[in-house]
Protein backbone atom coordinates (compact mmCIF):
# COMPACT_ATOMS: atom_id res chain seq x y z
CA UNK A 1 0.00 0.00 0.00
CA UNK A 2 1.27 3.46 -0.94
CA UNK A 3 0.41 5.16 2.30
CA UNK A 4 0.53 8.90 2.88
CA UNK A 5 2.48 10.11 5.91
CA UNK A 6 1.17 12.40 8.64
CA UNK A 7 2.91 14.00 11.60
CA UNK A 8 0.65 14.66 14.59
CA UNK A 9 2.22 16.69 17.39
CA UNK A 10 0.94 16.09 20.89
CA UNK A 11 -0.38 12.76 19.68
CA UNK A 12 -0.39 10.80 22.93
CA UNK A 13 -3.63 12.19 24.40
CA UNK A 14 -6.75 14.22 23.72
CA UNK A 15 -7.31 15.64 20.25
CA UNK A 16 -3.88 14.52 19.06
CA UNK A 17 -4.46 10.92 20.10
CA UNK A 18 -7.88 10.83 18.42
CA UNK A 19 -6.40 12.35 15.27
CA UNK A 20 -3.47 9.93 15.15
CA UNK A 21 -5.78 6.91 15.51
CA UNK A 22 -8.24 8.20 12.92
CA UNK A 23 -5.58 8.96 10.33
CA UNK A 24 -3.89 5.61 10.85
CA UNK A 25 -7.30 3.97 10.49
CA UNK A 26 -7.82 5.46 7.03
CA UNK A 27 -4.38 4.40 5.82
CA UNK A 28 -1.80 7.01 6.84
CA UNK A 29 1.62 6.32 8.25
CA UNK A 30 1.48 8.32 11.46
CA UNK A 31 4.31 9.83 13.47
CA UNK A 32 2.91 11.04 16.76
CA UNK A 33 5.00 13.18 19.06
CA UNK A 34 5.20 13.34 22.82
CA UNK A 35 7.19 15.51 25.19
CA UNK A 36 7.55 13.55 28.41
CA UNK A 37 5.16 10.60 28.68
CA UNK A 38 6.71 7.97 26.46
CA UNK A 39 4.47 5.23 27.83
CA UNK A 40 1.29 7.02 26.75
CA UNK A 41 2.66 7.56 23.25
CA UNK A 42 3.78 3.95 22.90
CA UNK A 43 0.35 2.78 24.03
CA UNK A 44 -1.23 4.73 21.17
CA UNK A 45 1.33 3.33 18.70
CA UNK A 46 0.67 -0.23 19.89
CA UNK A 47 -3.07 0.26 19.47
CA UNK A 48 -2.54 1.44 15.91
CA UNK A 49 -0.17 -1.43 15.08
CA UNK A 50 -2.58 -3.97 16.60
CA UNK A 51 -5.22 -2.70 14.19
CA UNK A 52 -2.82 -3.19 11.24
CA UNK A 53 -1.96 0.47 10.91
CA UNK A 54 1.50 2.01 10.79
CA UNK A 55 2.79 4.42 13.41
CA UNK A 56 5.85 5.55 15.32
CA UNK A 57 6.39 7.78 18.35
CA UNK A 58 8.96 10.58 18.49
CA UNK A 59 10.08 12.53 21.55
CA UNK A 60 9.78 16.19 20.60
CA UNK A 61 10.13 19.52 22.34
CA UNK A 62 7.67 21.89 20.66
CA UNK A 63 9.74 24.97 21.50
CA UNK A 64 12.92 23.68 19.87
CA UNK A 65 13.69 24.53 16.25
CA UNK A 66 16.38 21.82 16.18
CA UNK A 67 13.82 19.24 17.35
CA UNK A 68 11.56 20.33 14.48
CA UNK A 69 14.38 19.65 12.03
CA UNK A 70 15.13 16.26 13.64
CA UNK A 71 11.46 15.29 13.54
CA UNK A 72 11.09 16.02 9.85
CA UNK A 73 14.39 14.24 9.13
CA UNK A 74 13.06 11.20 11.00
CA UNK A 75 9.86 11.25 8.96
CA UNK A 76 11.78 11.50 5.70
CA UNK A 77 14.15 8.69 6.66
CA UNK A 78 11.39 6.36 7.82
CA UNK A 79 8.69 7.04 5.23
CA UNK A 80 10.33 9.13 2.50
CA UNK A 81 7.89 12.04 2.55
CA UNK A 82 5.61 14.24 4.62
CA UNK A 83 2.11 14.58 3.23
CA UNK A 84 0.28 16.09 6.20
CA UNK A 85 1.39 18.06 9.24
CA UNK A 86 -1.03 18.43 12.16
CA UNK A 87 0.24 21.12 14.54
CA UNK A 88 -1.71 20.11 17.63
CA UNK A 89 0.76 20.37 20.53
CA UNK A 90 -0.09 23.19 22.91
CA UNK A 91 -0.58 24.17 26.51
CA UNK A 92 -2.92 26.56 28.28
CA UNK A 93 -2.03 29.12 30.91
CA UNK A 94 -4.75 30.39 33.22
CA UNK A 95 -4.07 33.49 35.32
CA UNK A 96 -5.01 37.12 35.63
CA UNK A 97 -2.90 39.33 33.40
CA UNK A 98 -1.51 41.04 36.50
CA UNK A 99 -0.30 37.67 37.73
CA UNK A 100 1.13 36.49 34.41
CA UNK A 101 4.93 36.60 34.56
CA UNK A 102 7.33 37.26 31.70
CA UNK A 103 8.18 33.57 31.77
CA UNK A 104 4.50 32.58 31.61
CA UNK A 105 3.95 34.83 28.61
CA UNK A 106 7.02 33.60 26.75
CA UNK A 107 6.23 29.94 27.40
CA UNK A 108 2.64 30.31 26.15
CA UNK A 109 3.84 31.89 22.91
CA UNK A 110 6.71 29.45 22.48
CA UNK A 111 4.63 26.30 22.92
CA UNK A 112 1.48 27.39 21.10
CA UNK A 113 2.90 29.57 18.32
CA UNK A 114 6.68 29.46 17.86
CA UNK A 115 6.73 25.67 17.83
CA UNK A 116 4.11 25.68 15.07
CA UNK A 117 6.30 28.02 13.05
CA UNK A 118 9.43 25.89 13.49
CA UNK A 119 7.77 22.66 12.43
CA UNK A 120 5.76 24.17 9.57
CA UNK A 121 8.95 25.71 8.20
CA UNK A 122 10.76 22.39 8.37
CA UNK A 123 7.94 20.31 6.86
CA UNK A 124 7.15 22.83 4.13
CA UNK A 125 10.52 22.21 2.48
CA UNK A 126 9.51 18.71 1.37
CA UNK A 127 5.96 19.76 0.52
CA UNK A 128 7.14 22.65 -1.67
CA UNK A 129 9.61 20.40 -3.44
CA UNK A 130 6.92 17.82 -4.23
CA UNK A 131 4.25 20.47 -4.82
CA UNK A 132 1.72 18.76 -2.59
CA UNK A 133 0.83 18.58 1.06
CA UNK A 134 -1.43 19.88 3.79
CA UNK A 135 -0.88 21.63 7.09
CA UNK A 136 -3.64 21.78 9.70
CA UNK A 137 -3.06 24.01 12.72
CA UNK A 138 -5.05 23.70 15.94
CA UNK A 139 -6.02 27.08 17.35
CA UNK A 140 -8.87 27.60 19.82
CA UNK A 141 -12.10 29.49 20.31
CA UNK A 142 -9.93 31.64 22.62
CA UNK A 143 -7.93 32.73 19.59
CA UNK A 144 -11.11 33.95 17.92
CA UNK A 145 -12.94 35.64 20.80
CA UNK A 146 -10.39 35.85 23.61
CA UNK A 147 -10.90 34.59 27.14
CA UNK A 148 -10.55 36.32 30.48
CA UNK A 149 -7.72 34.92 32.61
CA UNK A 150 -6.18 33.40 29.49
CA UNK A 151 -4.57 36.41 27.86
CA UNK A 152 -1.29 34.70 26.96
CA UNK A 153 -3.01 31.60 25.61
CA UNK A 154 -5.57 33.67 23.68
CA UNK A 155 -2.85 35.83 22.15
CA UNK A 156 -0.85 32.79 21.07
CA UNK A 157 -3.88 31.06 19.56
CA UNK A 158 -4.87 34.27 17.73
CA UNK A 159 -1.33 34.26 16.35
CA UNK A 160 -1.92 30.75 15.05
CA UNK A 161 -4.86 32.07 13.04
CA UNK A 162 -2.81 34.89 11.54
CA UNK A 163 0.07 32.53 10.80
CA UNK A 164 -2.32 30.12 9.06
CA UNK A 165 -3.78 32.79 6.79
CA UNK A 166 -0.36 34.13 5.81
CA UNK A 167 1.23 30.72 5.22
CA UNK A 168 -1.76 29.60 3.15
CA UNK A 169 -1.14 32.44 0.70
CA UNK A 170 2.58 31.71 0.61
CA UNK A 171 2.26 27.97 -0.06
CA UNK A 172 -0.77 27.98 -2.37
CA UNK A 173 1.37 28.31 -5.54
CA UNK A 174 3.05 25.06 -4.48
CA UNK A 175 -0.34 23.30 -4.13
CA UNK A 176 0.07 23.03 -0.36
CA UNK A 177 -3.03 23.81 1.71
CA UNK A 178 -2.87 25.42 5.15
CA UNK A 179 -5.95 25.54 7.35
CA UNK A 180 -6.87 25.94 10.98
CA UNK A 181 -9.35 24.52 13.46
CA UNK A 182 -10.71 26.58 16.34
CA UNK A 183 -12.19 24.06 18.78
CA UNK A 184 -14.51 25.20 21.52
CA UNK A 185 -14.94 23.28 24.78
CA UNK A 186 -13.70 19.75 24.18
CA UNK A 187 -13.60 16.86 26.66
CA UNK A 188 -9.85 16.80 27.31
CA UNK A 189 -7.67 17.19 30.39
CA UNK A 190 -7.21 20.87 29.50
CA UNK A 191 -10.66 21.51 30.96
CA UNK A 192 -9.98 19.47 34.06
CA UNK A 193 -9.84 22.60 36.22
CA UNK A 194 -13.59 23.21 35.81
CA UNK A 195 -15.90 22.46 38.73
CA UNK A 196 -19.23 20.69 38.05
CA UNK A 197 -21.02 24.04 38.36
CA UNK A 198 -18.58 25.72 35.95
CA UNK A 199 -19.05 22.89 33.45
CA UNK A 200 -22.81 23.34 33.64
CA UNK A 201 -22.53 27.11 33.13
CA UNK A 202 -20.19 26.62 30.17
CA UNK A 203 -22.50 24.08 28.55
CA UNK A 204 -25.35 26.58 28.85
CA UNK A 205 -23.40 28.92 26.54
CA UNK A 206 -23.09 26.27 23.82
CA UNK A 207 -26.15 25.97 21.54
CA UNK A 208 -25.68 22.20 21.29
CA UNK A 209 -25.66 22.05 25.08
CA UNK A 210 -22.59 19.86 25.50
CA UNK A 211 -18.83 19.71 25.12
CA UNK A 212 -17.31 18.33 21.95
CA UNK A 213 -15.28 15.13 21.83
CA UNK A 214 -11.72 14.62 20.59
CA UNK A 215 -13.08 12.28 17.91
CA UNK A 216 -15.33 15.03 16.54
CA UNK A 217 -12.37 17.39 16.26
CA UNK A 218 -10.26 14.64 14.68
CA UNK A 219 -12.82 14.15 11.92
CA UNK A 220 -12.63 17.87 11.13
CA UNK A 221 -8.83 17.63 11.02
CA UNK A 222 -9.03 14.78 8.52
CA UNK A 223 -11.52 16.71 6.40
CA UNK A 224 -9.17 19.69 6.10
CA UNK A 225 -6.12 17.48 5.57
CA UNK A 226 -7.77 15.89 2.55
CA UNK A 227 -9.44 19.01 1.09
CA UNK A 228 -6.98 20.08 -1.58
CA UNK A 229 -8.90 23.20 -2.72
CA UNK A 230 -9.67 24.58 0.73
CA UNK A 231 -6.92 26.77 2.14
CA UNK A 232 -6.51 29.72 4.48
CA UNK A 233 -9.71 28.84 6.36
CA UNK A 234 -10.53 28.85 10.07
CA UNK A 235 -13.07 26.16 10.91
CA UNK A 236 -14.87 26.43 14.23
CA UNK A 237 -15.65 23.13 15.93
CA UNK A 238 -17.58 24.59 18.83
CA UNK A 239 -21.17 23.34 18.87
CA UNK A 240 -22.41 26.67 17.52
CA UNK A 241 -20.81 28.71 20.34
CA UNK A 242 -19.60 31.41 17.94
CA UNK A 243 -21.99 30.47 15.16
CA UNK A 244 -23.79 33.79 15.33
Higher pLDDT, 192 or 142: 142
Q: Report the pLDDT value the prediction gives residue 192, as an integer from 0 to 100.
A: 66
Domain boundaries, given as residue ranges, for the chain: 5-235
Give the pLDDT mean for 206-219.
Answer: 92
Distance between CA atoms of residues 173 and 100, nearest Å: 41
Cβ atoms < 10 Å from Cβ of 151: 20
DSSP string computed for 3-24: --EEEETTTTSHHHHHHHHHHH
> What topology does CATH give the domain 5-235?
Rossmann fold (3.40.50)
Q: Residue 73: CB partners within 8 Å, gap ≥ 6?
A: none
Cβ(27)–Cβ(3) below 8 Å: yes
Distance between CA atoms of residues 71 and 7, nearest Å: 9
Q: Is the pLDDT of residue 244 over 60?
A: no
pTM assigned to the model: 0.94
Give the active site residues.
153
Higher pLDDT, 168 or 199: 168
Three-class secondary structure of residue 59 per DSSP? strand
Where is average pLDDT lowest: 68-72, 119-123, 198-202, 225-229? 198-202
Amino acid sequence: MNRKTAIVTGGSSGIGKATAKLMAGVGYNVILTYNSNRQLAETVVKKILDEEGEAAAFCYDAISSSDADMLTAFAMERYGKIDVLINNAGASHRALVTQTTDEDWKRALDINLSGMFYLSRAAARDMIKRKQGAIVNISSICGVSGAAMETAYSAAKAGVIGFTKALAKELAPSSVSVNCLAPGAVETKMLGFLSPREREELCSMIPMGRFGTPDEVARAVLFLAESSYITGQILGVDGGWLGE
